[in-house]
Structure 1
Amino acid sequence: MPSVPASAPTTAASAPAKLPPAADRVYQHVKQGVLDRRYEGGTLLTEGELAEAVGVSRTPVREALLRLETEGLLRLYPKKGALVLPVSAQEIADVVETRVLVEEFTVRRAVPAPPALLARLEELLAAQRRHVESGDLAAFAVEDRCFHAEIVRHAGNQILSRLYDQLRDRQLRMGVALMHAHPDRIAQNVTEHTEILEALRAGDADAAAAAVRAHLSRVEVLVRGGEVR
């Protein structure tokens, strides 16, 4: 009877990790650069520079840039490159108006706030304070946005949650730009977030809604007051 050959031993580390597709890598590289302002509004990006930076050919670069153009972050110019679009005054007004409508409603719906929500908001505030100390504006903007999104999510309206998620990139970009222009605003954001949390903890829906509206109104005034790129 012929012997059965032993199977080759396998190891978990035998296969290298698979990289994402080249176009996805370019997309993430450029998008993150726009959101954290490494690529400011008015910057002209060329296919050659991006291909070299990411280590890919020009074909996936074109694919990624087309995708970013449809998201409103870039405008393509044939044979020249892609221009990073500044944030317009109309976009600022539209985003803040939408946020006020969604966040005032959802913060009221979040009262009485469950212990899990209050604990999560405390964690996010603690992370924001750490980023204030380290001066990491991009990381602070992410935690800032997560603080508000957590309240929206706990209101339990899935349609509003999805609508709010669509604002994510615009919120992050505006937030980083605002903090670059007004460094003192970072600590003030923490104070205003604390006021929102305390109103939720007290079960005061009116105070929570007023704190959200005041917070977003101050943000709009400051962003409108300067050129956002």
Structure 2
Amino acid sequence: MDRKKAKQNTPSIKEKVYFHIRNKIIKSDILGGEFIEEEEVTDELGVSRTPVREAFSRLEAERFIDLIPRKGARVRQITGQEIIDIYETRRLIEIHAAKRICKEKIDVPLAMYTYHEAMIVDTHDIDFYEHIINDSGFHGAMVDAIGNPVISDVYKSIQERKMRVAYTALSIRPDRLSVVTEQHQKIIAALANHDTDEVAALLERHLLPVEGVISRLPK
């Protein structure tokens, strides 16, 4: 890899700060309702206040935190209603994409197979974060396959919140790991067979809020 390309692939300081805080929130290392101290982040990462403030602004826009005047950055609590809303949005987009793949006989993206294989492996050595990264890639590849950049952009706009919801759901119901991979296998098969009704039914079940999770979250 040449130096120019390597430099392009190296995250900037503000990106490193953003991902550091975001991943802590996703993994529940920082819980909903807790405050993130700007000074604590600067000391931990050895950076100035500017990239921390930029990260806070981005995280607020993505609804990870609320910036409260004179108090600081408070992590937003995931609610049962938010989970319901995220899954409803996913069903609208993903079922539409799957139906188009079937009707237009679009090949199943190779990335879906790759992410699925990775998820089968990680069920033996559970890492929730890696699992949701692969899960997001699996579903994102299906949406991108229809070649509609507007739909892809809308789908990506909920990506970060979707990851946090998924991590929360798995933390409460880790037994869902094997269920998810089994359902993914059936979704791939239905797409490969261009079975519109079957893939729509599979996604309808796959993208329902996880039983027992919503009742354990704030309303």
Aligned length: 213
Query: Is 1:174 paired with 2:165?
Result: yes
Which residue of the partner structure matches residue 26 of structure 2? 35
Which residue of the partner structure matches residue 9 of structure 1? none
1:44-94 CA-to-partner distances (Å, cap 9, x unmatched) read: 211121111110133432332233223211122345432111112332222
Q: Secondary structure at the match of 2:124?
A: helix
Q: 1:131 to 1:26 in 2, by over 3 A?
A: same
- Partners of 1:121 and 1:150 within 8 A in 2: yes
Give TM-score, length-normalised by structure 1: 0.82
Query: Is 1:188 paired with 2:186?
Result: no
Which residue of the partner structure matches residue 26 of structure 1? 17
Identity of aligned residues (%): 30
Q: Take 2:20 and 2:206, find their aligned partners in 1: how far apart are those partners? A: 31
- Mapping of 1:1-229 within 5 angstroms? 22-111=13-102, 113-115=105-107, 117=109, 119-217=110-208, 219-227=209-217
Please tell me the root mean square deviation across aligned C-alpha atoms, in Å: 2.4
Give the gaps of 5 or more residues in structure 2.
none
Range with greater deviation from structure 2 (179-188 or 107-116): 107-116
C-alpha deviation, 1:115, in angstroms:
4.4
Q: 1:113 to 1:178 in 2, by over 3 A?
A: farther
Give the gaps of 5 or more residues in structure 1.
1-11
Q: Take 1:113 and 1:37, find their aligned partners in 2: how far apart are those partners? A: 41
